[in-house]
């Protein structure tokens, strides 16, 4: 133990301006002791951290009294033998009681405690919540928190783009003075807490760009001052609650790109919002989106028992009628289909040929095709439905076989407006000039009166989507890495080496084609731009690419290189897991593939995302690959790497050894 001189050392905590105790001024050393004890107590009250040192006789014993992570210091030494033990113990008890009573004075406010509980339910973030200290008296100085200056009540919680991963705690409903809640573009999963309906002062609620599931709580209709509500780009299901029609101050409303069904409320302010507020929900109906609802006649009020019986009988009758009707309808359709096939089959086989003749012309971009326009048009004239090898959001794809055995893929794009030709040829000239090892080359196009027929190289391996999800033979780990690397190289070339640079806008497994050696090539690059921003935004969502789209693209429809990077990250996860981004196993848990990865990462279970059918998985390359994918699917575009950087990481940390010719441009 320290000597008496050392014991006095901690008295440096005593500030020079602190008062003395004049009624003990004649007791010299003993005055010093009491002065130190009480002065250190004052220091503690200002936040000084130390310990309580109790000395009896020549033996010293250290006692620590903690109050809200703050302690007290009381000093004495062997010179105090003239004081009785009772006085020392009495002093100790007084200081201890003061410490305990002051704990109530410095306790965290109820709003602060609600936010602490909110933080507890978030196991993952970028560190933004680390400085939320429970020992503070209020949360007003915390990151993302704003308070009323007088009442110290929380009025705003703003934490977008911070990779917050977890559920939204119902304790958020205890912030009854909250006016603004911005939690958008994070990785929240689970349901929207109904307790939010208790935040009756709420004016803005932004939860878009997360992985929230379940239904929209009816309680959100209890927010009379709500002006802005955005729940878009989640995995919400069920119907839009009629209670939202009571929000008379609602100025903006967005529930697009979810899995909502049923009739949109037809009363209140919701009737003022158009199609953009509901886009991407395939089973919604209502006048807002010009989609009629197939509803029965109005119900007649009655007693609960009779209404229940009528409901049951009605359901049985409807069920039986629907079954019989469905069987009759199927039989009728089969009969009618056979009739049309026999009567109109020959005409249908010539439908594509009629489209290219007369007035069709062939424009070739690469002079290495030994065919004349006449030879190609002749083959186009005999194409029919038997030559279809695929279809997508941008058109139907046909297999075009020439007499010498060479095969090409023909993509048919219908002209969408009168001004279609004015920029189409200019854009195709740019796309036709792009030639790269990991891109599907555009050889030329046929300009017909009603459509454009794009001629591409044909790849015998089919699409990556087919290989991953429709074939019994599975790619091993090495083959999957090769596919990922090829797709990354192709996309990096579009972003960084083309002039002008090309944004793909629709990266997905069906747009990654494979040759006979399973080498990947990116297809359909630049086609989204040909439809225009608005049309391509709608087409990509409707065409089934919802799971690949970056949150900011689904909200604004504006594509950048970073939206492609996000889609590439999703593609990597699809290749690793062997499951589509919106696989039913994810949706049942309330996630898509990105939300599932974030959840597994928060549980330290990322290995579980790997396809169990994939052989020869290498742990080291897997860890590096998942790290790259995680960066690519970051909520904030600014946090995503460029494709050039992605290629560098893949080459240095994933591909070992890296093929030296992986970035050749031929």
Structure letter (DSSP) for residue 376: H
How many CA atoms, within 13 angstroms, populate the side-chain half-sphere of residue 101? 6
Q: What does the alpha-carbon distance between residue 452 and residue 67 come to, in Å, rounded to a whole number? A: 77
Q: What is the pLDDT of residue 401?
A: 87
Q: What is the pLDDT of residue 352?
A: 53
Active-site residue flag, 375: no
Q: What is the pLDDT of residue 584?
A: 74
Q: Could you give all domains of the chain from N- to C-terminal order, each with its CATH number?
A: 4-105 (no CATH), 110-289 (3.80.10.10), 348-458 (3.30.200.20), 463-666 (1.10.510.10)
b/e burial code for range 64-82 (CB count within 10 A of at least 16 → b)? ebebbebbbbbbbbeebee
Contacts of 459 (CB under 8 A, 6+ apart): 409, 440, 513, 514, 515, 521
Contacts of 377 (CB under 8 A, 6+ apart): 356, 357, 360, 362, 446
Average pLDDT per 10 consecutive residues for the chain, totaling 666 residues: 39 38 36 37 35 38 36 40 53 57 61 92 83 87 91 92 87 94 88 94 91 91 93 88 91 87 87 83 82 57 40 45 52 53 44 53 71 78 77 74 86 65 72 88 79 85 90 88 95 90 89 90 79 45 64 79 95 94 75 85 86 88 93 92 95 68 44
Q: What is the pLDDT of residue 69?
A: 35
615, 654 Cβ separation under 8 angstroms = no
Q: What does the alpha-carbon distance between residue 241 and residue 255 come to, in Å, rounded to a whole number? A: 12
Determine which one of 506, 524, 564, 583 is catalytic.
Answer: 506
Q: What is the pLDDT of residue 649?
A: 94
User: Angle at which helices 85-105 and 29-45 pack, to 10 degrees?
Assistant: 10
Place of tokens 């929380």: 154
Give the Å distances, CA to CA, from 312 to 228, 315, 327.
40, 5, 23
How many CA atoms, within 13 angstroms, populate the side-chain half-sphere of residue 413? 25
Tokens (6 digits) for 480: 């999957």
Q: What is the pLDDT of residue 295?
A: 53
Helix (H) or strand (E) holding 339: helix 304-349
């Amino acid at each position: 133990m320290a000597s008496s001189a050392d014991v006095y050392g901690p008295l440096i905590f005593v500030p020079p301006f602190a008062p003395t105790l004049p009624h003990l001024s004649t007791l010299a050393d003993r005055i010093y002791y009491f002065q130190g004890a009480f002065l250190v107590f004052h220091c503690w009250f200002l936040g000084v951290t130390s310990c309580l040192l109790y000395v009896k006789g020549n033996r010293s014993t250290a006692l620590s009294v903690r109050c809200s992570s703050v302690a007290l210091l009381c000093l004495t030494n062997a010179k105090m033998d003239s004081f009785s033990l009772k006085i020392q113990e009495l002093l100790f008890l007084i200081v201890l009681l003061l410490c305990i009573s002051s704990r109530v004075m410095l306790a965290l406010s109820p709003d602060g405690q609600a936010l602490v509980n909110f933080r507890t339910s978030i196991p993952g973030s970028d560190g933004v919540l680390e400085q939320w200290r429970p020992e503070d008296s209020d949360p007003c100085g915390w990151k993302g928190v704003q308070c009323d200056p007088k009442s110290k009540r929380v009025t705003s919680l703003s934490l977008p783009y911070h990779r917050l991963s977890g559920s939204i705690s119902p304790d958020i409903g205890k912030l009854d003075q909250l006016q603004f809640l911005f939690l958008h573009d994070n990785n929240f999963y689970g349901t929207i807490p109904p307790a939010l309906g208790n935040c009756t002062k709420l004016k803005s609620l932004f939860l878009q760009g997360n992985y929230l599931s379940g239904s929209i709580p009816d309680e959100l209709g209890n927010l009379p001052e709500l002006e802005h509500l955005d729940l878009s780009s989640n995995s919400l299901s069920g119907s839009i609650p009629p209670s939202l029609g009571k929000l008379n101050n609602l100025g903006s409303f967005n529930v697009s790109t979810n899995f909502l069904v049923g009739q949109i409320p037809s009363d209140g302010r919701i009737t003022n919002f158009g199609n953009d507020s509901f886009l991407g929900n395939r089973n919604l109906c209502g006048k807002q989106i010009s989609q009629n609802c197939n509803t029965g006649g109005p119900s007649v009020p009655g007693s609960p028992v009779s209404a229940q019986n009528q409901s049951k009988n009605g359901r049985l009758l409807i069920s039986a009628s629907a079954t019989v009707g469905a069987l009759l309808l199927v039989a009728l359709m089969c009969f009618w289909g056979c009739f049309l096939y026999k009567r109109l089959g020959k005409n249908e086989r010539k439908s594509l040929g009629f489209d290219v003749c007369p007035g069709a012309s062939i424009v070739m971009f690469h002079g290495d095709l030994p065919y004349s326009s006449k030879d190609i048009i002749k083959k186009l004239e005999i194409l029919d439905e038997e030559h279809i090898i695929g279809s997508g959001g941008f058109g139907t794809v046909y297999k075009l076989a020439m007499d010498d055995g060479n095969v090409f893929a023909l993509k048919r794009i219908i002209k969408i407006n009168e001004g279609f030709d004015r920029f189409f040829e200019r854009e195709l000239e740019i796309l036709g000039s792009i030639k790269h090892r990991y891109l599907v080359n555009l050889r030329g196009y046929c300009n017909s009166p009603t459509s454009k027929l794009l001629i591409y190289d044909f790849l015998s391996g089919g699409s990556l989507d087919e290989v991953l999800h429709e074939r019994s033979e599975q790619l091993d780990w090495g083959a999957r890495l090769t596919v990922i690397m090829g797709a990354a190289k192709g996309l990096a070339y579009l972003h960084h080496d083309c002039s002008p640079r090309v944004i793909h806008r629709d990266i997905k497994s069906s747009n990654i084609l494979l040759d006979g050696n399973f080498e990947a090539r990116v297809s359909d690059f630049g086609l989204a731009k040909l439809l225009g921003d608005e049309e391509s935004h709608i087409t990509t969502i409707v065409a089934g690419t919802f799971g690949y789209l970056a949150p900011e693209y689904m909200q604004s429809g504006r594509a950048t290189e970073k939206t492609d990077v996000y889609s590439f990250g999703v593609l990597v996860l699809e290749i690793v897991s062997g499951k589509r981004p919106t696989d039913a196993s994810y949706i049942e848990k309330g996630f898509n593939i990105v939300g599932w990865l974030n959840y597994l990462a928060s549980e330290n279970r990322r290995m579980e995302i790997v396809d169990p059918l994939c052989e020869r998985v290498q742990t080291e390359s897997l860890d590096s690959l998942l790290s790259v994918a995680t960066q690519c699917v970051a909520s904030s575009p600014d946090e995503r790497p460029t494709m050039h950087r992605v290629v560098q990481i893949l080459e240095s940390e994933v591909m070992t050894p890296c093929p030296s010719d992986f970035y050749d441009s031929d």
